[in-house]
Structure 1
């Protein structure tokens, strides 16, 4: 794990809140010279700590109002079954996250749909065709209380 000093943490926290800020604004925010700040950001990028820069969309404004969490239990735990499932789920554009779990389900998926009819389409065309699935349970989020992409540092 990379070592982060207090200035690195300030830079990362600022960029997690506003990734498009200019280097000059970032340097001001963390009380560094622009050149020193730029070098630190370049190092954080080269070390893979800053992986990418993205635009975060408002799901409601792009007609993805329905969040569904899908618990999946597979028919077995062999590498072949796990690999086949993982390769297939990666090809479903509506699945934002897929996590291998410890507990009652083997995988937990986060799916974004327009509405319940759209989720039914996703289920029929994609989820029901995933290899190795023994059981599937879907839970619809009624309201999102907190959503962030910022990691606590």
Structure 2
């Protein structure tokens, strides 16, 4: 079965696919500049489009060895993933004046990266491509 020309996922597959892509994006950061990477084990389901359609949402927090390198790291991510033919990038400036980006792979999903704690940390928010939640499955709680 397919949805939008792609194999239909269940929430476990959506989560695994999304976390793998998030790790791939984080791995492009300069390893010497990163002090710690903390990927959440669980996420939530968010309504996606239409009845019973959901997206798995999770995130990763990256602590830089030197917080002054966090903004340049976001800029490098934008340049790196913006040059990828199978991805597009949206950029914006947050309320604190920092660059925030959204990486949009052609296969679906979205990966937002921005600064938190006065620019000390990079927070990634990730959202899987849409999938249908089986009848009888409650979308609340942790997944």
In the superposition, the TM-score normalised over structure 1's length comes to 0.27
Larger radius of gyration: 1
Structure with the larger helix share: 1
In the superposition, the TM-score normalised over structure 2's length comes to 0.29
